[in-house]
A and B are shown apart, each in its own frame.
Chain A
Amino acid sequence: KNEVEQSPQNLTAQEGEFITINCSYSVGISALHWLQQHPGGGIVSLFMLSSGKKKHGRLIATINIQEKHSSLHITASHPRDSAVYICAVRRSGGGADGLTFGKGTHLIIQP
Chain B
Amino acid sequence: QKEVEQDPGPLSVPEGAIVSLNCTYSNSAFQYFMWYRQYSRKGPELLMYTYSSGNKEDGRFTAQVDKSSKYISLFIRDSQPSDSATYLCATRTDSWGKLQFGAGTQVVVTP
Query: A and B: real partners?
Result: no
Q: Interface on A for B, CB 8 Å cutoff?
A: none
Q: Interface on B for A, CB 8 Å cutoff?
A: none
